[in-house]
């Protein structure tokens, strides 16, 4: 009898431990909401839609998160523009064209990049990339959205490569053999058969990469100059949502309107990445079944 009780106890214990993940997710939403909540009453959600982020001002503070959203979007778009060709190109090369030994070396080497802390990449960007951009484009300052986009692409590319490489390699060999047997060349087979067949996986890889980019904090904070402008010009300085939270949270008074506003920004960020992740997982799942 004792053994049965023990079995049940163990199962219950494991079950309740497993539930903590759900508990954590719920409490993330609850505690972000709790700290952001009073903002809805005073000064009201309408304040968030204003076009100026000026949390400290002698006349009137304003907490419009539009410049922060456009800042994040601009940096993300720039990163995505670099991430897509580089990520797909490299994953096709590694999975289909590289020699076996070459692949064995390239893959772990690129995986190393995924391990470099973002603050180190940000530091590298600050001392190397920013002066480079300044000199190349003759700008008064190299702290630009472009610098942020490039650094974020560097950070997200390993994720993109490793997931889309898996997708490309799991395309059945019979597809490729059929294409080659019909007289298609190796390149034709890759671009007309293998890549289209792996496209859902590649798409999911890019979406997960973008999710990582939107949420990245330190690297962008160090190189984008952090001016809250609404702009689509890559050579302007921008302030992203993540950088705003990280830079300003240390200075705000607990419970102030500014403090609440930063939690609102956090919720927007959380919802954006949550949405991207759910869609990416759906795409991945669909692809696995097919």
Site for other proteins in 231-270 (CB under 8 A): 242, 245-246, 249-250, 254, 262-263, 266, 269-270
Report CA Rg, the chain. Answer: 23
Determine the interface stretch with other proteins among 13-21, 45-53, 59-67, 172-180 (rule: CB under 8 A): 13-21
Toward other proteins, which CB reaches closer, 56 or 183?
183
Which helix (H) or strand (E) segment holds residue 53: the answer is: strand 53-54
Site string for other proteins, 168-197 (x = CB under 8 A): -----------------xxxx--x------
Q: Cα angle vertex 79, ends 51, 143, to 5°? A: 65
Instruction: State yes or no: residue 146 binds other proteins (CB under 8 A).
Output: no
Q: How far is the CB of 60 from other proteins (least distance, A)?
A: 26
Residues 6+ apart with CB under 8 A from 282: none
Paired with 62 in beta bridges are 54
**3-state percent helix, strand, coil for the chain, nearest multiple of 5:** 80, 0, 20
Shortest Cβ distance from residue 98 to other proteins (Å)? Answer: 8
Q: Binding to other proteins by residue 285, rule CB under 8 A?
A: no
Binding to other proteins, residues 90-109 (CB under 8 A):
90, 92-94, 97-98, 106, 108-109
Pick the binder of other proteins from 145, 157, 167, 168 (CB under 8 A).
Answer: 157
Question: Nearest CA to 110 among 89, 90, 129?
Answer: 90
Which residues make Cβ contacts (< 8 Å) with residue 26, sequence separation at least 6? none
């Amino acid at each position: 009898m004792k053994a049965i009780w023990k079995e049940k106890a163990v199962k219950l214990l494991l079950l309740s431990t497993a539930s903590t993940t759900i508990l954590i997710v719920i409490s993330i939403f609850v505690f972000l909401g709790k700290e952001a909540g009073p903002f809805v009453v005073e000064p009201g959600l309408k304040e968030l839609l204003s076009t100026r982020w000026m949390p400290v001002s002698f006349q009137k503070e304003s907490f419009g998160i539009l410049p922060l959203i456009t800042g994040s979007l601009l940096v993300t778009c720039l990163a995505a523009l670099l991430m897509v060709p580089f990520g797909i190109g490299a994953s096709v090369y590694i999975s289909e064209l590289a020699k076996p030994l070459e692949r064995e070396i390239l893959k772990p080497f690129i995986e190393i990049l995924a391990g470099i802390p973002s603050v180190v990449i940000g530091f590298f960007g600050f001392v190397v990339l920013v002066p480079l951009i300044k000199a190349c484009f003759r700008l008064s300052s190299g702290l630009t959205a472009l610098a942020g986009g490039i650094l974020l692409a560097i950070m997200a590319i390993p994720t993109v490569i490793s997931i889309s490489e898996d997708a490309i390699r799991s395309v059945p060999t019979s597809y490729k053999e059929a294409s080659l047997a019909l007289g298609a060349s190796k390149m034709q087979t890759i671009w007309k058969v293998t890549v289209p067949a792996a496209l859902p996986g590649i798409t999911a890889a890019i979406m997960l990469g973008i999710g990582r980019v939107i949420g990245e904090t330190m690297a962008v904070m160090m190189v984008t100059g952090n001016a809250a402008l609404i702009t689509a010009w890559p050579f302007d300085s921008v302030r992203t949502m993540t950088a705003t939270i990280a830079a300003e949270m240390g200075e705000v008074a607990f419970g102030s309107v500014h403090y609440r506003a930063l939690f609102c920004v956090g919720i927007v960020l959380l919802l954006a990445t949550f949405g991207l992740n759910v869609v990416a997982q759906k795409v991945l799942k669909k692809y696995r079944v097919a």
